[in-house]
Amino acid sequence: MAMKIRLARGGSKKRPFYRIVAADSRMPRDGRFIEKLGIYNPLLAKDNEERVKMDVERIQHWLGQGAQPTDRISRMLEAAGVLPKKERANLKKAVPGKKAQARAAEKSAKAAAAAEAANAPAEAPAEVAAAEE
């Protein structure tokens, strides 16, 4: 039996409330579970002590039995100091792609050339006028 430590949603519409449960991975998200291990209320402030409450001893018991925590639960356990911090992919979705970076570099080069050209002709006519006299 593949065990998971996961969140089971409760609460009304737009007012989520979660139970942290140990459940068979084949059971529905909000369905049958084996043991309730804690609660999570995302509506509370992040620094509020009531936001996440866990029975750490029972969670360690289930981890020892081979239960796998979901990503969100593992983050909570890392914050509580139960699990060691895990390296995660730091996706850089906000960074533009190669072509967009090339276009931006080309555009800035053109702007620099235009600014240089705008300054250069102002000096040139004065030199030309002095050379003609």
Instruction: Express each pLDDT in 38-73 by its tens digit.
Output: 999 999 998 998 999 999 999 999 999 999 999 999
Strands 68-69 and 3-12: parallel
d(CA 21, CA 38): 7
Q: Verify that 99 and 69 share a domain, yes or no.
A: no
Q: Verify that 20 and 61 share a domain, yes or no.
A: yes
Question: For 19-27, what is the mean pLDDT?
Answer: 93
CATH code of the domain covering residue 7: 3.30.1320.10
Q: Is residue 88 part of a domain?
A: no
Q: Is residue 110 part of a domain?
A: yes
Question: pLDDT at residue 16 above 90?
Answer: yes
Residue 37 backbone zone (phi > 0: left; psi -120 to 50: alpha; other: beta): alpha
- In this predicted structure, what is the pLDDT of residue 126? 56
Q: Is residue 118 part of a domain?
A: yes
d(CA 107, CA 100): 10
Q: pTM for the full model? A: 0.64
Long-range contacts of 41-46 (CB under 8 A, 24+ apart): 41/17, 42/16, 42/18, 43/15, 43/16, 43/17
Read out DSSP for 22-45?
A: EEETTS-TTS--SEEEEEE-TTS-
Question: For 94-122, what is the mean pLDDT?
Answer: 86
